[in-house]
Amino acid sequence: MQLSNDDRRFLDLAIEQARIGWDEGGIPIGAALVHRGEVLAVGRNQRVQMGSVIRHGETDCLENAGRLPASVYRESVLYTTLSPCYMCAGTATLYEIPRIVIGENRSFQESEAWLRSNGKELVIADDATCIALMDRMMTERPELWAEDIGVEASDLEHRA
């Protein structure tokens, strides 16, 4: 989908986070949280960097944003380079974030039907840079990717 100028700009912040993460030796997935046009926080997957099992791009971003009133989440947009896993989808549901702009969903797509059934607005950018970042990781570090989505590396073939 062709993004608006604002959506493009904020998704690019998430992509920048994904690139930083990859350069750090981590999983190249990034996110940004935006409230009425103001960037509240950015974040990136921290599995390698912090040894974290709960800091995906989206959750790291929310953690970096800190404690916020419910009313702020409800008027915010979450930008993420990759379609959310169930943990991140559940987090967006908990905080009632109404809109999620997704860089790409070719590499991974688990929660979108569920999110839509919860009333979320999802925008899929099908962004070539996001796809390329994931392709490179899946080729060079498949075991890391498998770990991040809770499967064994040997399971990846069955999911492809």
113 binds a copy of itself (CB under 8 A): no
DSSP secondary structure letters along 80-118: EEE---HHHHHHHHHTT--EEEEEE-SS--SSHHHHHHT
149 binds a copy of itself (CB under 8 A): yes
Closest CB to a copy of itself among 85 and 133?
Answer: 85
Given 85, 131, 133, 137, the residue binding a copy of itself (CB under 8 A): 85
State the CB neighbour count (10 A cutoff) for residue 13. 18
**Nearest distance from residue 111's CB to a copy of itself, in Å?**
8
54 binds a copy of itself (CB under 8 A): yes
58 flagged as catalytic? yes
Query: In terms of Cα–Cα distance, which of 33, 41, 6, 11 is closest to 128?
Result: 11
71 binds a copy of itself (CB under 8 A): yes
Tokens of 104: 């790409």
Q: Site for a copy of itself (CB under 8 A): how many residues?
A: 36
**Nearest distance from residue 29's CB to a copy of itself, in Å?**
14
Mask for 91-110, x = binds a copy of itself (CB under 8 A): x-xxxx--------------
138 binds a copy of itself (CB under 8 A): no
Buried b (16+ CB within 10 A) or exposed e, 102-134: bbbbebbebbbeebeeeebebebbebebbbebb
